[in-house]
Amino acid sequence: MTAPDTFDRLIQPRSIAVIGASSNAASVGGQALALLTEFSFHGGVYPVNPKYKTLKDRPCYPDVLSAPKPCDLALIAVSAPQVPAAIEQCGQAGIPFAVVLTAGFQELGKPGLKLQQELEASIDKSGVRVVGPNCIGLLNRKADIRCGFGATMASREAASSPGPLAMVTQSGGFGMSMAGLADDAGLGCSYIVSTGNETDVSALELLSYFLERPDIEAALAYIEGIHDGRQLLELGKKALRLGKPVLLWRVGDTPAGRKAAVSHTGRLTADETLFRLTVREGGFIPIDDVDDLVDVASLIHGGKRARGRRIGIVTLSGGAGVLMADLCERNDLEVSETSQDTLSRLKAHAPGNASLSNPMDVLSSAYYDDEYASYNRLIAEALSAPDFDQLIVRSPPIPNAPPWRWAEGFAAAVSASRKPVALLWGNGRRSREILDLFPRWSIPCFSSPRRAVRALAGWCDFSVKAERFSARSGPGPRPIEALPLPLPVGATSTLGERESKAVLASYGIRVLEGVLLGEAEIEALRSPPTAFPVAVKIESADIPHKTEAGAVRLGISDMTSLKAAAREVIAAARRFQPGARIDGLCIQPMLSGTELIAGAVSDEQYGPVVLIGLGGIFAEALGDVTHRLAPFDFAEARSMIEELRGRAVLDSFRGRLPSDVDAVTDTLHRLSWLISDHRERIVEIDINPLFVGAAGEGAIAADALVVLRKAPKAQP
C-alpha cells in the first residue's frame, strides 16, 4: 500500500484494531481495549488475539487480516518480538496507520538492536505509517478517542476541554500532565500524540500536519531530541506562513554529535547552535515551563498580533510601573517614548499630577469615585495611540462583589482594539467569579508580572517574525552576481591559504595578499618582498592549521630573521606532517586593527550559516559568536555584529577610533551569498583573523581556509 498524505485517519479513525488485546485490565493490551470500549468512541473496535473468541462482548479475531474492513488504525500491544510481523499484517490488511505501544527496541541500546532492524524492515515493507514504538498512544479529545494506555489516559478529565491546541510529545507521561494544566487555564488540547522512539512518524511531521488543520491555532511540542534539521527549518517557515506558532519545549541535549569539524568555524557551529538558530528564525516560541505554555497560549487565543516591539505600560502604582519597565527591557520589549500628541490626548483622562510618559502611572486616588471609568477611557486612548504596539495594564482595586463596572468597561475597550493587551491582576484570588470572566472575554490575565511580560514578549516576537515573513519576498539585493568558484583544477577537500583567499576575493571580500616564494627564492632574496615587519607562513593545502604545526612566524623585521624563519617554518611543517605537499612560503605584511573571526558553514541539514565573533583566544574562551542562516541582507548582517557581547571593542574605546563596522557588515553580507551560491561545493569557510581598521579603513581577511566537499554534488 502507499502512504497517505495526511494524518486525518490517524487522529480520526473510523475503526480501530487492537492487536494484543487482553482480558487482563492491568496489561497494555487490556487497557487499550478498555479505553476504546468504555468511553465514547463510536467506530468499530476489533480486538485481535488468537487466545480469545470474544473480549468485552465483542468478537475477537485471531489475526488482523480476519478483522472487518475498513480499518484505519491498529494499536499494537503484542510483545516486542511479535511487533514486526503485526506491522506486516497491517500492511497486508490495508490498514494505513499503526501505533506501537510496546517497548523494547532501540531504547534498550544494543540488546534492542536486532528487533529494531526487524521493525524498520517491516515498516519499509508494509508501507504502514507507524507511531512509536515505546509510546503511550494518542488522544483525540474532540471526539473522545483514546488510543493508548496508562492512568492519565483513563482519567475522567482526559477528554474534557478540547481547545485550539494540538500537542506532540516525546514524553508521554509529561505531555499528558501538561495537557491537564492547559485545561486548567481553559486552553485545552484537542489532539495529543505521544511519539515515543519515532522510528517512522516524527514529531516534526505531526506538528506540520496539525498546523494545517483549521481547528488548530497553535501546536505544542515537547521535544527531547531533533534528528532532522531540514524538517525543523521547513516547519519554522510553515508556522510563519500560516501565522500559527509552534510552542517548543525542548529538554536535554541533542543526542547526535557532529563530525569533528576541520575549521574553527566548524567547531563553533555545532548542531546545538544550528538548532537554536533555526528556532529563533522560524515560527517557534521557545517555552520551558508549563506556565509558559498556559501564558503564551492565552495570548494566542486572544487572537491579536502586535506589529512591533513597542509596549505601553498603564498602572495605578509607580512601583508596578518601574518593575514592569525593567521586565520589558529584559525581555526585548521596547518601553517606547510617548509623542506630545498622545500625551495631550491622554491628559484628558488623567488627574493633573499623573505621570503620563511611559510607564504611565496615573494614581489610584484620582479615580476613586467613578469606579475607574476614566481609567478605562485612558486605556482606550493609549490603545488607539500610534505609539504602542501592545499594552500591559494593571488592574485597579476591584470591589468584592458585582457589579464589576470597571472590568466590563475594560473588556469593551480591549475588544474594540486590534492590539494585544495583557491584564496584570493585583487583587488576589478571592473574587474567583470575576477572574473567570477574563478568559471568557479572551483577555489574558496574569497575577505575576514576570509571566505577563514573558508571554507578551514571546507572542510579540512570533508576531513580528510572521509579519516580516509575509512582507518579505526574499533575502534582499545581492552584493554581487552568483559567480563560479575560481578553483584549481581537480581541487578537493581543504584548499591552501592562497587558493582559499582567491575564493573569497571572487565575491569581493578583501584579503591580505602575500607573496608566494619557494625556499630557494627566499634564500636568494636581497630585500624584503614586502615592507618589514612581515609574517612567514607555510603554504600547504595539507596543513590547514599552520599555527598548530608551528609553521608560522610573526613580526619579522630583518633579512637575517626572515631567512631563518623560512627555514624553521619549512622544517616544522615537514616534522608536523611528513609528505605534505608544500607549495612554498607566503610572506605577508603584519596588520594591525581589531581581530575578529568570520566564517560560514554549509550544514548538510540546516543549510548555509554565517558567523562572526571576537578574534583570538577570546572567541573560543568566551564563545562570543553570533550566527545567521544565509543568505541575508545588509541589515541582518549588521544585527549580527550588534549582538556580540563584546561589541564595545568595535566602538571608540580607550582612545582608539571606532572600527569600520560597515566593512565587517559588507564582508558578512558577501560571505552569506558566497556560501549560499556554493553550498553544494563548499563545506566550511574560515576567516581567522579578520582585521578591522578604523572607520573607512576597511576589513581584511589576514588568513583564510576553505574546505570543499570531498565528493562534490552536482550544482543545483
Q: Which of residues 390-409 bind a second copy (CB under 8 A)?
A: 396-397, 400
Nearer to a second copy, 91 or 162 (CB): 162
* Residue closest to 297 by CA, chosen among 194, 175, 165, 460: 165
d(CA 56, CA 32): 12
Residue 554 interacts with a second copy (CB under 8 A): yes or no: no
In the block, residue with C-alpha cell 481547545 = 163
* Residue closest to 74 by CA, chosen among 38, 46, 40, 35: 46
d(CA 272, CA 278): 10
Residue 67 interacts with a second copy (CB under 8 A): yes or no: no
Residue 590 interacts with a second copy (CB under 8 A): yes or no: no
Residue 546 interacts with a second copy (CB under 8 A): yes or no: no
Window contacting a second copy (CB under 8 A); options: 60-68, 427-435, 570-578, 664-672: 427-435
Q: Which of the residues 362 through 381 are near a second copy (CB under 8 A)?
A: 364-365, 368-369
Q: Which of the residues 209 through 228 are near a second copy (CB under 8 A)?
A: 222, 224
Nearer to a second copy, 281 or 295 (CB): 295
Residue 263 interacts with a second copy (CB under 8 A): yes or no: no
- Write down the least CB distance from residue 102 to a second copy, Å: 13
In the block, residue with C-alpha cell 608536523 = 576
Sequence-separated (6 or more) residues with CB below 8 Å from residue 594: 615, 649, 650, 659, 691, 692
Phi, psi angle pair for 70, to nearest 5°: -80, 150
Strand ranges inside 120-236, DSSP E: 129-131, 137-140, 145-148, 165-169, 189-194, 218-223
Nearer to a second copy, 64 or 362 (CB): 362
SS (H, E, C) 476-527: CCCCCCCCCCCCCCCCCCECCHHHHHHHHHHCCCCECCCEEECHHHHHHCCC
Q: Binding marks (x or -) toward a second copy, 22..61, rule CB under 8 A?
A: ----x-----------------------------------
Window contacting a second copy (CB under 8 A); options: 72-80, 283-291, 415-423, 521-529: 283-291
Number of residues that bind a second copy (CB under 8 A): 71
Residue 428 interacts with a second copy (CB under 8 A): yes or no: yes
Nearer to a second copy, 457 or 517 (CB): 457
**Helix-then-strand count for the chain, H and E:** 23, 30
d(CA 568, CA 588): 17
Residue 649 interacts with a second copy (CB under 8 A): yes or no: yes
Q: Which of the residues 124 through 163 are near a second copy (CB under 8 A)?
A: 150-152, 155-157
Residue 618 interacts with a second copy (CB under 8 A): yes or no: yes
In the block, residue with C-alpha cell 503485526 = 86
Sequence-separated (6 or more) residues with CB below 8 Å from residue 528: 534, 559, 562, 587
Residue 568 interacts with a second copy (CB under 8 A): yes or no: no
- Write down the least CB distance from residue 561 to a second copy, Å: 11
Residue 288 interacts with a second copy (CB under 8 A): yes or no: yes
Among positions 58, 142, 563, 647, the unique one binding a second copy when judged by CB under 8 A = 647
- Write down the least CB distance from residue 524 to a second copy, Å: 27
Classified as helix, coil or strand, 46 is: strand
Radius of gyration for the alpha carbons in the chain, expressed in angstroms and rounded: 32
Among positions 49, 102, 140, 171, the unique one binding a second copy when judged by CB under 8 A = 171
Nearer to a second copy, 181 or 505 (CB): 181
Nearer to a second copy, 316 or 570 (CB): 316
